[in-house]
């Protein structure tokens, strides 16, 4: 276990050093990401400017939802590159090489790359989050920090689990399927707004099937101290982010089944 963690950080170190060889490109891409994702918040801002409020939620409150989910997504998006590109690996037969090495395949894929340019989205999420909490006059007490950390870790786990599941599908389809991607992107889009505004089937989907709301909506409601229109008790808001690690663990189990099913395409 210790050895695996050590190896993982060695992998990441190599990836980071290689990306920093192209410093200008890294800076350009990060700034590009910052601007490209920053412009997404413009649409939220425009809608609030026009309508004033969203069923009792203010722009600053939505900014906290938006910021936290974007931070969580940026972490897993940066760390899950290996799984994201896995379809190509199955297609070319390169996955065989990973199977020959005396380490778990999930570890090797996880260590493939830490995509530094995702720092653009991270910075954007942070800016929106800090702006929102400053507007609301939220003090970052240890309780709130703990909830925010739980939301970010839980959310990152769920997004990571989705990347793993998307890669797992490639064992059967050899092609990365856009459909899982749409759940990921749709999840970011959905949880940027409070869950309470959606119709019931959508709320259930993102609570029980892909439990993203457990790692964004419920802890954020506790951070904001906003009474939950869905009526969730406070203890649940605290425990909900645990759904994240559980989802990731489940996804990794499915991954193991997929690996057992693998037949090489290579010659």
Partner 1 sequence: MRGYWALVSARFRMLLQYRAAAVGGFGTQLFFGLILIMVYEAFYRSSSAPQPLPYADVVTYVWLGQGLLAMLPWNVDAEIRALVRSGNVAYELLRPIDLYNAWYCRALAWRTAPTLLRSVPLFVVAGLFFGLRPPASPAGAAAFLVAMLGALLLGCAITTLMNISLLWTTSDDGIALLLPAAVLVFSGMMVPLPLFPAWAQRILYLLPFRGLIDVPFRLYVGNIPPAECLPLFAQQLAWTAALVLLGRWLLERGKRRLVVQGG
58-63's contacts with Cβ under 8 Å and 24+ in sequence apart are 58/136, 59/132, 59/135, 60/131, 60/132, 60/133, 60/135, 60/136, 61/132, 61/136, 61/194, 61/224, 61/226, 62/132, 62/192, 62/193, 62/194, 63/128, 63/129, 63/131, 63/132, 63/133, 63/135
Q: Would you say 147 or 210 has its CB closer to partner 1? A: 210
Binding site for partner 1 (CB under 8 A): 25, 28-29, 32-33, 35-36, 39-40, 42-43, 46-47, 49-56, 175, 177-179, 181-183, 185-186, 189-190, 193, 197-199, 202
Question: How near is the Cβ of 141 to partner 1 at its closest, in Å?
Answer: 30
Residue 261 CA to residue 255 CA, distance in Å, equals: 10
Question: How near is the Cβ of 190 to partner 1 at its closest, in Å?
Answer: 5
Question: How near is the Cβ of 182 to partner 1 at its closest, in Å?
Answer: 4
Q: Would you say 46 or 149 has its CB closer to partner 1? A: 46
Question: How near is the Cβ of 15 to partner 1 at its closest, in Å?
Answer: 18
Q: Would you say 110 or 118 has its CB closer to partner 1? A: 118
Please name the residues in contact with 14: beta carbons below 8 A apart, sequence gap of 6 or more: none
Q: Would you say 15 or 190 has its CB closer to partner 1? A: 190
């Amino acid at each position: 276990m210790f050895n695996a963690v050590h190896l993982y950080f060695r992998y990441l170190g190599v990836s980071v050093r290689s990306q920093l060889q192209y410093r200008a490109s890294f800076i350009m891409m990060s700034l590009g990401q910052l601007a490209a994702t920053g412009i997404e918040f413009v649409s939220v801002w425009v809608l609030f400017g026009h309508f004033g409020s969203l069923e009792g939620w203010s722009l600053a409150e939505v900014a906290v939802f938006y910021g936290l989910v974007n931070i969580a997504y940026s972490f897993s998006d940066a760390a899950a590159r290996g799984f994201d590109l896995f379809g190509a690996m199955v297609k070319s037969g390169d996955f065989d090489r990973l199977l020959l090495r005396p380490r778990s395949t999930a570890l090797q894929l996880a260590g493939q790359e830490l995509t530094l340019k995702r720092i653009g989205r991270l910075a954007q999420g942070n800016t929106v989050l800090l702006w929102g909490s400053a507007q609301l006059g939220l003090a970052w007490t240890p309780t709130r920090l703990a909830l925010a950390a739980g939301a970010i870790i839980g959310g990152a786990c769920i997004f990571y689990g989705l990347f793993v599941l998307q890669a797992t599908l490639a064992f059967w389809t050899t092609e990365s399927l856009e459909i899982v991607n749409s759940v990921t992107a749709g999840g970011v889009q959905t949880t940027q707004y409070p869950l309470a505004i959606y119709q019931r089937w959508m709320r259930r989907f993102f609570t029980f099937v892909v439990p993203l709301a457990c790692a964004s909506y419920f802890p954020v409601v506790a951070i904001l101290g906003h009474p939950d229109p869905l009526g969730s008790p406070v203890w649940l808001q605290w425990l909900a982010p645990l759904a994240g690690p559980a989802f990731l663990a489940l996804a990794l189990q499915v991954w193991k089944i997929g690996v057992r099913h693998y037949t090489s395409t290579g010659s």
